[in-house]
Amino acid sequence: MRQSDAKKQYFTKSSRYEQRDGQWYFKKREKELLGPYPDILEAQAGVEVYIALANFKSDDVTKRSD
């Protein structure tokens, strides 16, 4: 890629995804970075797994208190 070519931007400043040293991370609400992932698609899959686990734990706690 030439310097004059436009570089792909996968995220904005407020995005959940961040690339550092060629590795991808995603941010939790607490602004903590989780990763690294080899590419943005893996980071996106990581978010899905993280959310699914958080929902599962939340459901488990709710069921115990019933």
Strand 33-37 to 17-20 pairing = unpaired
What is the rounded average pLDDT of the residues 8-35? 84
| Lowest-pLDDT choice from 11-15, 31-35, 39-43 | 11-15
Question: Is the separation of the CB atoms in 49 and 41 below 8 Å?
Answer: no
**CA 9 from centre of chain:** 16
Taking the whole predicted model, whether its pTM rises above 0.75 is answered as: no
Per-domain residue ranges of the chain: 37-66
CB burial of residue 43 (10 Å; 0-12, 13-18, 19+): buried
* pLDDT tens column, 46-65: 999 999 999 988 776 666 65
Which pair of structure tokens corresponds to residue 16? 């959940």
